[in-house]
Amino acid sequence: MFIIFGTRGIKHTVKDSAVLSNSCPNCSQGSLVNKLYRRWFTLFFIPVIPLDVIDRFYACDKCNSAYNESIKNILEQSKTEIEENQRQAKLTFAKALIASMTHMAVIDNEFAAEEEREIMDAISNFPEFKDELNNIHTAIKATKNENNQVFNYLNEARKELSSEALINILAQAAVVLLADGSIEKEEEDLMKEYLIACGLPKEMYQTLIDRLQQKDISELQEGQLN
């Protein structure tokens, strides 16, 4: 009997490897499926004995693009990077917020209970940064922005955040300004300095105050980012 034998590579799906959903860099819709080529011993062209693995890779189930297995780490890394950037932006927002609210509360040399409550409410929106924010609050309350740290926080915020986020910070600082029922000259001047520090026109001051006095301020409590 004439026996035909040989080897051939067959593509398999790696069963215990997670599918990377909707992450194809080429078509951005397809999912990447882990595949391998295994060499098989064939008898009469029929694979009968699995041999070594020749190659492992990811293939897109939509556009068929194939990627080196390292694509998995690259995709995971960028996900971690995105999350870290979001965390950083949130922290920058929270620091500028608590710093300016506290500064606004101490500028008239009277720290009212309503002001303290507004600030504590704001801190409670960021449980993950609670200690850091409490430290900032305590420091600014004690030094009254002696080292200009409030403007440093606002500068960082201006570099990293959108103007929408900046206006949100200033609106919440303005809530503190309005909390004790009267607007002192120091408070008004400080709010205008904040606007300038954030690259916003100081004429916005009146609009901001008018809006806040008309509106239910609880709507502004949700810290909005970017």
Residues that bind Zn ion (CB under 5 A): 24, 26-27, 30, 60, 62-63, 65
Q: Judged by CB, which is closer to Zn ion: 64, or 224?
A: 64
Q: Judged by CB, which is closer to Zn ion: 23, or 172?
A: 23
Shortest spacing between CB 29 and Zn ion, in angstroms: 7
Q: Judged by CB, which is closer to Zn ion: 26, or 124?
A: 26
Q: 66 phi and psi, to 5 degrees?
A: -115, 145
Distances (CA, A) of 104 to 82, 99, 130, 140, 180: 33, 9, 20, 10, 11
Q: 202 phi and psi, to 5 degrees?
A: -70, -15
Residue 116, SS3 per DSSP: helix
Tell me the two tokens of residue 56. 């492992």
Strand ranges across the sheet with 46-60: 5-13, 32-43, 46-60, 66-68
d(CA 90, CA 83): 11
Shortest spacing between CB 59 and Zn ion, in angstroms: 9
Shortest spacing between CB 10 and Zn ion, in angstroms: 22
Question: What is the separation, in whole angstroms, between the first and last Cα of the chain?
Answer: 76
Shortest spacing between CB 30 and Zn ion, in angstroms: 3
Q: Judged by CB, which is closer to Zn ion: 31, or 42?
A: 31
Q: Judged by CB, which is closer to Zn ion: 30, or 96?
A: 30
Shortest spacing between CB 72 and Zn ion, in angstroms: 15
Q: Judged by CB, which is closer to Zn ion: 27, or 48?
A: 27
Handedness of CA 118, 124, 125, 126 (dihedral sign): positive
Q: 52 phi and psi, to 5 degrees?
A: -80, 160
Shortest spacing between CB 38 and Zn ion, in angstroms: 24
